[in-house]
Amino acid sequence: MLYASLDHASFDYGHLPTLFFVAESVLYRLCCDAFQKTYLYSVETKLIKIGSLVFLRLFIYFLHGHLESFKQHLRRLQPYLYALCFSGDSYYKYPNIFSNVQLIMKTMEIIYKKELLSGSIFSPVENKKSYKNIDPDMGGYEINHLLWHCVAAWSCVQKNSPQLNKVLEHLIFHKAQLQKKCWLDSILALLVLGEAAKLNMACLKALMELMRDFLLSIMSVQNQEECCKVDDFSWAWNVVYRYTTILAEICLYATTSNLRKTAFIGFCVCKSSQKDILLVDKSEESPELKETSILGLLEYFSSKMSDNCDQVIWIGYYGLVYNLVKMSWELRGDDEQDGFRNKILQILQKTKDHEKDGRIHNGIHIAQ
């Protein structure tokens, strides 16, 4: 209930003291209780999920320059965040949890760097020259063009603006920015565009095109033999995992059945989209990434699974099966969605029967 309340609450400056209280309470419980346990408990999953939403809201307030008078509150969180830095070994094998921990750490890293050391300056990239006298390591936080255009697209959908197609064209033009190392901007861009995609097919198409280009680019770079000349994309799994969650939410909460179906199956209506994706022989040539729908990604990731596969592959696959389980639970009792739920259950059963990787089975178990 607390998570739902946070998710739907308006952005009011008066909420900040409460948000800081919840943030400190969550971190205290994690650092002084949950971290001491030998096994993973469901309360940890819930606390970290709530925490990620709280810190994401704090980050949005930061972008608008509203944290200037809350420096003492920020300092109170520092000891707990320092302890959270050492939680990687505990949570790495649970991407659904670790992704939220990474989100908390990344948002606060940016806030502390800008707020406590140099003050908060919220500046778009276009205004970079106006801050030329500011140390680039300490100055204003710059929002990239991709995120700006995702916000603009969302606004166009809300207002039913005829400018939407033009905005989406510009958005796709900046798709390479999804590959920038500041993955927090990338996640925010996908979250905003995902909200628009729940209402508009053109936005859903743009969202899926962004992820297809991102995955193809990342996998192409990581397949190069001369690793010393390749950029570090160790952060890319954060973007991929978050996308699987966004896609699942579109399947559940999009306003039309056509949007929900497209997010699940993809735009291709050919028979290949309906084939048994989990019975692909991994010794055969891996299928091409054609769709970044749930079924398209299942086919792609499952065909590339191995003990030493790339982090993006197994975490992307984990994210899909984890969210499929969550979707099946969410659809219980909805008679109109029985067919959809049965399809999900069939996929999950085939995954259990044919997938040997323990990490994927772990994702199913944790979600249940």
pLDDT at 125: 42
pLDDT in tens, 47-101: 999 999 999 999 999 999 999 899 999 999 999 999 898 887 788 889 999 999 9
pLDDT in tens, 138-174: 345 788 899 999 999 999 999 999 999 999 999 999 9
Q: Is residue 11 part of a domain?
A: yes
Q: Which residue has the higher pLDDT, 360 or 114?
A: 360
**pLDDT, mean over the chain:** 86
55, 108 contact by CB (below 8 A): yes
Q: Say which amino acid occupies 15.
A: H
Q: What are the residues facing 142 on neighbouring strands?
A: 123
DSSP string of 314-338?
A: HHHHHHHHHHHHHHHHHTTT-GGGH
In Å, how far are 149, 193, 226, 361 from 262, measured between CA atoms? 23, 16, 38, 26
Q: Is residue 283 part of a domain?
A: yes
Q: Is residue 299 part of a domain?
A: yes
Last residue of a domain, one of 96, 122, 148: 122
pLDDT at 129: 40
- C-alpha to C-alpha distance for 347 and 353, rounded to whole angstroms: 10
Last residue of a domain, one of 122, 138, 171: 122
Q: Is residue 303 part of a domain?
A: yes
pLDDT at 277: 58
Say yes or no to pLDDT of 136 above 50: no
Q: Is residue 225 part of a domain?
A: no
Q: How confident is the model at residue 229 (pLDDT cuts 50, 70, 90)?
A: very low
Q: Say which amino acid occupies 311.
A: Q
Burial of 234 (0-12, 13-18, 19+ CB in 10 A): exposed
Last residue of a domain, one of 82, 98, 122: 122
- C-alpha to C-alpha distance for 291 and 206, rounded to whole angstroms: 12
Q: What are the residues facing 124 on neighbouring strands?
A: 143
Domain count for the chain, please give it: 2
pLDDT at 123: 39
pLDDT in tens, 301-357: 999 999 899 999 999 999 999 999 999 999 998 999 999 999 999 999 999 999 999
Q: Is residue 261 part of a domain?
A: no
pLDDT at 275: 52
pLDDT in tens, 91-131: 888 999 999 999 999 999 999 988 887 443 333 443 444 33
- C-alpha to C-alpha distance for 186 and 193, rounded to whole angstroms: 11
- C-alpha to C-alpha distance for 76 and 20, rounded to whole angstroms: 9
Q: If you compute the radius of gyration of the chain from its CA atoms, what whole number of angstroms results? A: 21
Say yes or no to pLDDT of 278 above 60: no
Q: Is residue 264 part of a domain?
A: no
227, 171 contact by CB (below 8 A): no
pLDDT at 269: 62
Q: Which domain holds residue 343?
A: 273-368
What is the average per-residue pLDDT within 266-278?
A: 62
Q: Is residue 328 part of a domain?
A: yes
pLDDT in tens, 185-202: 999 999 999 999 999 999
Q: How confident is the model at residue 134 (pLDDT cuts 50, 70, 90)?
A: very low
Question: Which residue in 113, 245, 228, 82 sits closest to 182, CA to CA?
Answer: 113
Two tokens at 232?
A: 């570090």
pLDDT at 141: 74
